[in-house]
């Protein structure tokens, strides 16, 4: 990923790395994300059970996470058989082309389980190796807010857009952002107890310096909310490539900045996002808070 998480100036219309058709990749991401979003809403069982758990007993996978991912994988493979695929659930594969599709079939699974409408399908076309922080970049992507019907989309150099039923597509552009003390900041928490303990210790130190915190429950929607100005900024430890790949590009194309704790590319240890100046102020606040937080097992990882 490019240093600082800021994407470069627009390339010639329609072309990208290795001659990729970026508008075409964005259109495909938007189409399949929307189809999977309809699937998870329309075919949600009345009684939705947990199919299995992952990192902890609260890190759940429903049958619809797997069905959404299966649909995404099948549609992307049919459209672009040479591309690689990396999803949050089981069933990734390497590809022969420079593109890997990085998907989160339901981001906000716990909201989905409880019927809270903040969950999304995230689909991103990336180049590089998405399993190595700093070694990949998103070139096109879409985040479909499943219950709301909203669609956030972008390709590199093409701006960030949101589509809502009955309204023309609207271009997203972050504002200057307020002072840190006035900033409404999104965050989230991991599924493992020792991670959450450390996150709570950091939050204790951040909270007195900002307006307030929101925990929406979908990292992809959090980042899109920053792009739209519905949140001023965002930070979270523990995100994976599939949580942020598409929404990172949406926010970057809207003029926002996404970095890790030291200002380089975001990684599992931290993601900090916002309009340029505010992002930098929040990044230093979170870095200071992280340095002061007790060194639990998680902090050493
Ligand atoms: C989670 C959500 C949540 C964030 C967690 C993620 P999932 O993804 O994005 O907001 O706090 O860190 O793991 O499990 O719902 O796909
Ligand atoms: Ca996720």
Q: Is the CB of 89 under 6 A from ligand 1?
A: no
Residue range 38-94, pLDDT digits in tens: 999 998 888 777 777 777 677 667 889 999 999 999 999 999 999 999 998 876 788
The pLDDT value given to residue 301: 52
**Pocket mutation for ligand 1, best pick of 87, 192, 196, 219 (most atoms within 8 Å of C-beta):** 219
Give the whole-angstrom CA distance, residue 186 versus residue 235: 7
Q: What's the gap in Å between 198 CA and the centre of ligand 1?
A: 17
What is the pLDDT at residue 60?
63
Q: What is the pLDDT of residue 50?
A: 73
Give residue 218 CA to ligand 1 midpoint distance, Å. 5
Q: What is the pLDDT of residue 48?
A: 77
Q: Could you tell me the distance, in angstroms and rounded to a whole number, from the CA of residue 144 to the centre of ligand 1?
A: 15
Prediction pTM value? 0.92
- Regions of the chain short of the pLDDT cut 70: 1-16, 18, 56, 59-60, 91, 296-301
Q: How far apart are CA 25 and CA 15, in angstroms?
A: 11
List, in sequence order, every residue forming a beta bridge with 258; answer none if it has no partner.
273
């Amino acid at each position: 990923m490019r240093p600082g998480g800021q994407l470069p100036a627009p390339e010639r219309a329609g072309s990208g790395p290795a001659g990729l058709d970026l508008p075409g990749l964005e259109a495909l991401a938007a189409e399949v994300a929307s189809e999977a979003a309809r699937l998870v809403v329309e075919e949600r069982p009345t009684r939705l059970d947990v199919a299995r758990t992952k990192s902890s007993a609260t890190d759940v996978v429903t049958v619809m996470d797997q069905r959404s991912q299966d649909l995404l994988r099948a549609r992307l493979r049919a459209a672009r058989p040479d591309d690689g695929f990396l999803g949050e659930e089981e069933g990734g594969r390497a590809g022969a082309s420079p593109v890997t599709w990085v998907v989160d079939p339901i981001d906000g699974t716990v909201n989905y389980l409880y019927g809270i409408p903040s969950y999304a399908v995230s689909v991103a076309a990336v180049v590089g190796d998405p399993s190595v922080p700093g070694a990949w970049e998103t070139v096109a992507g879409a985040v479909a807010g499943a219950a709301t019907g909203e669609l956030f989309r972008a390709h590199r150099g093409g701006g960030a857009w949101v589509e809502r039923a009955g309204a023309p597509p609207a271009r997203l552009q972050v504002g200057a952002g307020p002072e840190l003390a006035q900033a409404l900041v999104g965050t989230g928490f991991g599924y493992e107890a020792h991670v959450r303990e450390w996150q709570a210790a950091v939050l204790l130190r951040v909270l007195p310096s900002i307006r307030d915190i929101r925990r929406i429950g979908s990292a992809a929607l959090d980042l899109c909310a920053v792009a739209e100005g519905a949140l001023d900024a965002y930070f979270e430890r523990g995100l994976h490539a599939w949580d942020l790949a598409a929404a990172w590009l949406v926010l970057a194309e809207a003029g926002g900045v996404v970095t890790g704790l030291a200002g380089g590319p975001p990684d599992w240890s931290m993601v900090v996002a916002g309009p340029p100046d505010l992002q930098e102020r929040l990044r230093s606040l979170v870095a200071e808070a992280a340095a002061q937080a007790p060194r639990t097992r998680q902090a050493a990882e």
